[in-house]
Amino acid sequence: MLLLGSSSQLLEDFWASPQAVLVLGGATEREQFAAEFARQHPALPIWVSSGSNPEYAEWLFAEAGIAADRVHLDYRAVDTVTNFTTLVDEFQRQGINSVYVITSDYHMRRAVVIGEIVLGSRGITLEPIAVPSKHANEPLDKVVRDAARSILWITTGRTGANLAHLLRLTPSNTAGIGEEP
């Protein structure tokens, strides 16, 4: 009976329709894509995590005919890990158990790994939506690094984003720590 109940929950989560859109900042093309995507999904709220400046983002979504009360601009994130960690509890509070994640195609592998760890820690699933680009995929070491940082967040509540500062590393030794392309 327990196995059947667990399997039922897994299937329900797998087939759950996303209840929100999460746009990862870092490229205005992502927000432009998200504005069109939002027009095609008129019932979904949109969260933009550390995207373009508020004036541009508000104008972009308004031009696409998206009501201002559907768009939530959040500027707390400093990198991909914190794109997820700063919003996951809000999603959980609102009863959101599945989200679309919009980011660039070259960034998607890392975003999915982080999202599955961070969102998954709160029982939230994700459906990736890639924005086409001409960039090469990110290196695997970034994925591994940020997967570790995501696990660190789950266990300690800290992401390691300020690791360089805490360790007093010199700028030449900090390449790749906590950065977002």
Helices then strands, counting H and E runs in the chain, come out as 8, 5
Tens of pLDDT, residue by residue over 156-166, are 999 888 764 45
The pLDDT value recorded for residue 130 is 98
The pLDDT value recorded for residue 45 is 98
Residue 174, Cβ density class (10 Å: 0-12 exposed, 13-18 middle, ≥19 buried): middle
Q: Provide the whole-model pTM.
A: 0.83
The pLDDT value recorded for residue 181 is 41
Q: How many whole angstroms separate alpha carbon 66 and alpha carbon 89? A: 25
Stretches where the chain sits below pLDDT 50 are: 1-2, 6-10, 13, 164-165, 167-181
The pLDDT value recorded for residue 162 is 73
The pLDDT value recorded for residue 95 is 97
